[in-house]
Structure 1
Amino acid sequence: MSLPYTVLWHSTKWFSLGIVWLISLLGGSSICRAAVREDTLHITTNIDELFLTPAAYSVLEDPTGRLTIQDVHKPEWSRRFMVASQAFTSIQHPSATYWLRLTLHDAEQAERHWYLELLDSHINNISLYQDENTAPAVRTGADLPFNSRPYFYKNFLFRLPLTPNKTHTYYIRLQSSSRTSFLARLRTETILAGHFQREYGLLGGFYGVLLIMVIYNLCIYLFIREQMYLRYVAYVLSCSLVFLSEDGLGFQYLWPTLPWLNQLVNAVAPVLLLLTFSYYARQFMDSAERLPQYDAWVRRVVLGSAALLLIDALMLHSGLGFWLYPLPYTMVCYLAVRVYQRGFRPAIFFLAAHSFVAISVLFLVLRKLGIHALTNTFTVYSMNVAFVLEIAVLSYALGDKIKAIKDATIRAQERLVKQLRKRQHAQSQLLEQLQQNQHLKDQLNSELEAQVARRTEELRHQSETIAGQNRELVQANRLLALQSAAIEKLNAELQHDLQQAQEARVLSREVDFGEFSQIYPDKEACLTYLAELKWSSGYQCRRCGHEKYCDGREAHSRRCTRCRYVESATAYTLFQKCKFSIVKAFYAVFLLHTHHGNYSSQELSRVLDLRQGTCWSFSQKVAEAMRRREQTPEYDEQESWTKLLLDTHEVGVEDSLVEQGSAEQ
């Protein structure tokens, strides 16, 4: 097996040896009985299963790959066979061919059927020769279709016909493109049948758990559209593909007639697992936000390692790609440690989940090193158990993270709702205040109108009385002519006063700053009114003439959608570059317009609470705008003071006005 997780061995070698030694003390000896370390293996009646370690074979390495069965029978080559535990415990050179010699002596009285199982399903070519036969009894391998195997089983299984009280010698010719061990099992037919049921049942349960996790998380993704669940599904699918390629079930059930596809999956599946693992782990720990610089390095290293691994697996076949795995996996684990130190609690579950896999990798590392003291059924399939535990812990961690995100979102929404309620309450109070102000204003206007009406009626009555008396006096005596003239003069003055009262009522010439502030209470109200007045006839870009716009960054500004030119509400108005309160500037324009520019800067300074120099400069700017307005053909003496606000003429007022006004604020 060549799972990508074996890369952890290089960084945890001594620690792994210590863990394995402790497990060996607690776990006891192997469940299978090991063969005697000698040239000939004796099979007795009380033996139903033999676990064949490299000590059970004699091995011959053929670097050329040209030796035949006739050659290895020759004395010069036969003498070169060595006990495997003293020479080779596994295939060290993928380019070479290895001959294994196995000698068995059946000491039983009755004949039983024995089967030899090679535990590695990735050996490219296998030929089994019996005794002195020159033709192979069985020829199979991973380079051939699955139906070339004598038995429909995920590993290579061969029947060894043994005759009671007779010694048999078997030669096994192996050729593999990857490093693999010589581990095998020798079982009787009864033991093998029970083993098939248990093994395929457990593997079926294992892949059932993976399938359930894929469907479950995929359904969650389809419901909530959270990308993390989709990445988790991709990670579990890549794990499934790795296991299907490693235990041989993929070749047995999914692509039995495509050995080239089996080789491609064996090469690509670990790389795909590396990519999906880092892809899921980085989003799970939010590394792009928590550690952006380190996350960028992790992404580059993972992509670079994956590219080199693919090139080596598909083109170079150097066998050195194994050393490209430790760096990206170590960087991802270090990333988990860093984010946990920064307070991300689910990272501890991520580390705990992969610690199960790391422990199971230790057993795999020992088998790769040729240490088979702890090789048994549990250690061989511990990787499957570790992945089930990892998936369970990662699922819990993923749910815990989603729950934390949900809780944080709920808290943020609650704070937002409180803020909106406060804002709504403030708006309600403001609206109520405006309604009260409007009510008071309407009441005041009604009272003024009633008073003016009463005064007018009184004046009219007095005028009629005086006119009647005047007629009577003219008719009665010339001497009363002077008095009549005086009465007429008084009547004219009263008529003039009446006209002025009517004009004051209509124009409402002057209000104090407090009443004015009720109409324009703040900067927002002034900018809103100014923007509506400025673009009342529609928007048109001053740079390119385009008529479509979007909101700019500044409040009430508009950005051209074609040339991106931004124009604020105060641009090209009297308030351009004016940095003191725009509310005070509005009131200053109102006062100056109301008094036809005859309003002293001292009084304006007192009313606006600004420096006299600032008030004088601004009043000059407004007076100049009024003069320009009076020169226009459409000028009307009774027009509103707001006509001055959109004056676009650049006047020569020094910019010190802006600095003085901002300093006073």
Structure 2
Amino acid sequence: MIKSLVAVFTAIFVWNLTAQAEYTITLNNDQKQYEIQPQFVEQLQDPAASYTIDQVSSPLFAAKFKATGETMLRNTNRQAAYWLKLRIINHTDKSQQWLIESFNFRINEISCFLQTDSGFTEVVEGDMYAFKQRSVGHKNFEFLLPNDRDSIICYLRIKTKQPASFELFIRRFDAFTTYAIGEYFLLGIFYGTIGIVALFSLLMLLSFRKLVFLYYSLFLTGFGIFFMCQDGTGFQYLWSDMPIINAYSISISRLLMLIPYTLYFCEFLDIKKRLPLVWKAMMIWIVLRIVGAFLPKENDLLLSLVMYYDYIPFIVAYLTAIYSYSKGFKPALYFTLGFSILLISFIINSLRVACIVESNIFTAYSLNFGAVLEILFLSLSLGAWLRIIIQEKTVTENINKLLEEKVQERTAILQIQNTIINEKVNELDTLFYRLSHDVKGPLKSIMGLANLGLIDHTDRENYFRMIQSSATKLDKITSNFLQLSNAKQFDTEDLSSINFRKLLAEVIENLRYLNEFEKTSIQVDIEQEGEFYSYKNILYPAISNIIENAVKYRHEQGISSTLYIQIDSSSKKATLTFTDNGIGINPVNSQHIFDMFFRENTKEGVSGTGLGLYIVKTFIEKINGTVTHTANPANETIFVIEIPNALGVN
């Protein structure tokens, strides 16, 4: 116990001796740089910032310079100026140039007083002066030391309105240039990466028309400007002749970074849809943050509150990303990792700015390190999100293509249906016109003959015969139109087994009433294998019309009229061939003989409606069959009907 107490008191005694002694830095050839130890530096607070170099260098003020023993030099009183006293012993080759460098480039005013034989020389720099006033064209503050003296007395006067720490180094000039070139090279890569990703996001915006790419590009731009304000390159390269911007650069750049960032993560994670209350809260945060940017920054408490207030979007982004990932949004994983790193680096940087932690290479460039990793993870996140978007877009395009094909298909069908409807309407118009015309003729004839019969009693038998002829014609017309109506109202339930021999005999028997029927020789050849199913109410009128035409349009003289009917029936189909040696059909009219109301021949004493073959074609097509007409070298008329076995079709 006693030994421990002795050790403690010894350490305190040694520290007091060190604090009372003048802090001296000795430069040697074997070392290129020296860190000025803040706990040993003698400093003097100038509360009113009114002391002159003559005052502070006088013996009266010598005792007022004391080492604080703290590991960080900082301005605890923002209205005061701080004087630092350094004694430098130069044991190096006098050809080597040395300089004092201040890491903190955001000091408003820093003056370097170097003792000479005639007094002190003064060099003034700071972020309130134009950049060209600096001794060395570098983002930090550097003061050249005389290389012709063995002992150098240096006073540094520091005055700045914002919280600041004073990190000082003495470097040999060649070491400084090597360090500066490497630093600028890395910063160039850093800003180049940010610029490339920001530009790429704009290209993605043009390709995909998604606001998330615009917000991300703006965020990266604000991020880059914020870093340039943090490391001094913004003042060096962007507004070197306008130092007044330095007073507001940090607060403005934080705003340019945080607002697009908030909009970006809200859009990326679809907060407005998934968590509408959180989205409203972040919009309110943006409004309040813009208002806060115009508040005075002299108050340390207010400055701290603003700093902590800026943590809100990072924390919200972190929590909502975790929530989105838990709900199945996979890209949120990379987003969470990226902004976790960024949040940590942002906290470290904020603590450094507030002088809570010491400024060094790690804390000074913590945001840079965090940003590089954050960009890496956000690129992975956007890549995963893009894959989802592309997949959704591909699915949407396929659906749209399918719908477009369906629409085109339906449109084509509608056009066909419309054409068919128009044809049917025209057909009906023609049908009704011919019906009224053909019915009107026989009716007028009957009415006229009836009137003549009432007047002329001597020739009533002839009148009755003519009335009978007109009535027969009228009956034929109504029968044809009735057959057409039956074809239009075709019922598939009337399917039955067909015995072609029996059916043909029935048709021939019912046609015996035709004039000169007995003068036509009908020969039948039927081969039917197995049962054949079709529609009798369709086949009967079709066969009847063809046989009737063969009888009606036979040769009157010189040739014996014949009609040869051949029927071949199998389990798949039936072929009915009708060959007659009548007056024939002109080949020119062959393509029109199945048209409605077309009459190819007008034979004396034979009347017709022009519907017979049209009815045959209509009936046969109703049961998926075909009817064709040909002529052989003997000028015989041949009609061929092919119909499928309906049992096989069904």
The TM tier, using the shorter chain, reads 0.5 to 0.7
Q: In structure 1, give the amino acid aligned to 2:146.
A: P
Match of 1:239 in 2: 223
Counterpart position of 1:633: none
Give the equivalent residue in structure 2 for 1:553.
Answer: none
Does the CA-based 8 Å contact 1:267-1:310 persist in structure 2?
Answer: no
Amino acid of the residue matched to residue 172 of structure 2? T
Q: Distance in 2 between matches of 1:212 and 1:284?
A: 20
Q: Percent identity?
A: 23
Shift of 1:273: 1.6
Do residues 213 (structure 1) and 232 (structure 2) align? no
Question: What is the 5 A alignment of 1:612-651?
Answer: none
Q: Deviations over 1:480-520 (max 9, x none)?
A: 9xx9xxx9xxx9xx99xx9xx99xx9xxxxxxxx99xxxxx
Give the letter aligned to residue 51 of structure 2: L
* 1:53–1:372 Cα contact (<8 Å) kept: no
Tell me by how many angstroms 1:425 deviates: 5.0
The residue number in structure 2 matching 1:350 is 335
Amino acid at match of 1:341: S
Describe how 1:236-315 pairs up with structure 2 within 5 A: 236-313=220-297
The alpha-carbon deviation at position 286 of structure 1 amounts to: 2.4
Give the Cα separation in 2 of the matches to 1:319 and 1:366.
12
Give the Cα separation in 1 of the matches to 2:85 and 2:177. 26
- Answer whether contact 1:267 1:313 (CA < 8 A) is retained: no
Q: Distance in 1 between matches of 2:256 and 2:356?
A: 30
Look up the match of 2:188. Answer: 204
- Cα distance, 1:432 vs. partner? 6.0
Which of 142, 150, 158 aligns to 1:174? It is: 158
Q: Separation in 2 of the partners of 1:142 and 1:441?
A: 91
Structure 2 CA distance, aligned partners of 1:148 and 1:337?
Answer: 50
1:54, distance to aligned residue in structure 2 (A): 1.8
- Per the TM alignment, residue 307 of structure 1 is displaced from its structure 2 partner at its CA by 1.6
Change (3 A) 1:432 1:60: same
- Hey, what's the Cα distance between the residues in 2 that align with 1:87 and 1:79? 22
Larger radius of gyration: 2
Q: Is the 8 A contact 1:357 1:387 kept in 2?
A: yes
* Match of residue 141 from structure 1: 126
Deviation at 1:270, TM superposition (A): 1.6
Q: TM-score of the superposition, structure 2-length normalised?
A: 0.60
Higher relative contact order (CA 8 A, sep 6+): 1
Distance 1:298 1:363, change over 3 A: closer
Going from structure 1 to structure 2, the CA distance change for 1:52 and 1:435 (only over 3 Å counts) comes to same
Which structure shows the higher strand fraction? 2
Q: Is the 8 A contact 1:275 1:303 kept in 2?
A: no
Decide which moves more: 201-210 or 79-88.
Answer: 79-88
Which residue matches 2:139? Answer: 154
Summarize deviations over 1:41-90 as a string: whole Å, max 9, x none.
33333221112342242222222212223333455643343324438632
Name stretches of at least 5 consecutive residues in structure 1 with no aligned partner: 1-35, 506-513, 516-665
Q: What is the deviation of 1:172?
A: 0.8
Which residue is equivalent to 1:335? 320
Q: 1:46 to 1:434 in 2, by over 3 A?
A: closer
Q: CA RMSD in A?
A: 4.5
Distance 1:196 1:213, change over 3 A: same
Which residue number corresponds to residue 412 of structure 1? 396
- Could you say which residue in structure 1 is the equivalent of 2:179? 195
Q: Aligned partners of 2:163 and 2:384: how far apart in 1? A: 41
Number of residue pairs the alignment of both structures matches: 461
2:63 to 79, 85, 100: 79
| 2:381 is the counterpart of 1:401 | no
- CA distance in structure 2 between the partners assigned to 1:77 and 1:88 by the alignment: 23
Residue of structure 1 equivalent to 2:106: 122
Contact 2:39 2:72 in 1 (8 A): no
Q: Which residue of 2 aligns with 1:52?
A: 36
1:415 and 1:219, CA in 2 relative to 1: closer, same or farther beyond 3 A? closer
Partner of 1:530: none
In the TM superposition, what is the alpha-carbon distance from 1:174 to its structure 2 partner? 0.4
Report how far residue 156 of structure 1 moved. Answer: 0.5
Counterpart secondary structure, 2:214: helix
TM-superposed CA distance for 1:313, in Å, is: 4.5
Secondary structure, in 3 states, of the residue corresponding to 1:41? strand
The range that moved more, 252-261 or 224-233, is 224-233
AA aligned opposite 1:349: Y
8 Å CA contact 2:97–2:146 kept in 1: the answer is yes
**Take 2:37 and 2:273, find their aligned partners in 1: how far apart are those partners?**
51
Shift of residue 475, structure 1, vs aligned partner? 5.7
> d(CA) in 2 for partners of 1:274 and 1:294?
16
Report the 3-state secondary structure (helix = DSSP H, G, I; strand = E; otherwise coil) of the residue aligned with 2:328: coil
Amino acid across the alignment from 1:398: L
Contact between 2:349 and 2:366, CA under 8 Å: does it hold in 1? no
Determine the structure 2 residue equivalent to 1:113: 97
Alignment partners' CA distance in 2, 1:319 and 1:76: 38
Shift in Å at residue 189 of structure 1? 1.8
1:41 aligns with: 25
SS in 1 for 2:296: helix
Taking a change above 3 Å as real, the CA distance of residues 376 and 94 of structure 1, as seen in their structure-2 partners, is closer
Q: How far is the alpha carbon of 1:197 from its aligned partner?
A: 2.0
Taking the aligned partners of 2:249 and 2:353, their CA distance within structure 1 comes to 21
The DSSP-based 3-state class of the residue aligned with 1:311 is coil
CA deviation vs aligned residue, 1:612-659 (integer Å, no higher than 9, x gap)? xxxxxxxxxxxxxxxxxxxxxxxxxxxxxxxxxxxxxxxxxxxxxxxx
Distance change in 2, residues 1:225/1:131 (3 Å): same
Distance in 2 between residues matched to 1:93 and 1:433, nearest whole Å: 92
Aligned residue for 1:232, secondary structure, equals: helix
Shift in Å, 1:404: 2.1
Letter matched to residue 360 of structure 1 = S
**Which amino acid is 2:153 matched to?**
T
Distance in 2, Cα, partners of 1:419 & 1:223: 24
Shift of 1:393: 3.4
Deviation at 1:125, TM superposition (A): 1.0
What is the CA distance between 1:114 and its match in structure 2?
Answer: 1.6
Is the partner of 2:89 in helix, strand or coil? strand
Q: Give TM-score scaled by structure 1 length.
A: 0.59
Paired residue secondary structure (2:341):
helix
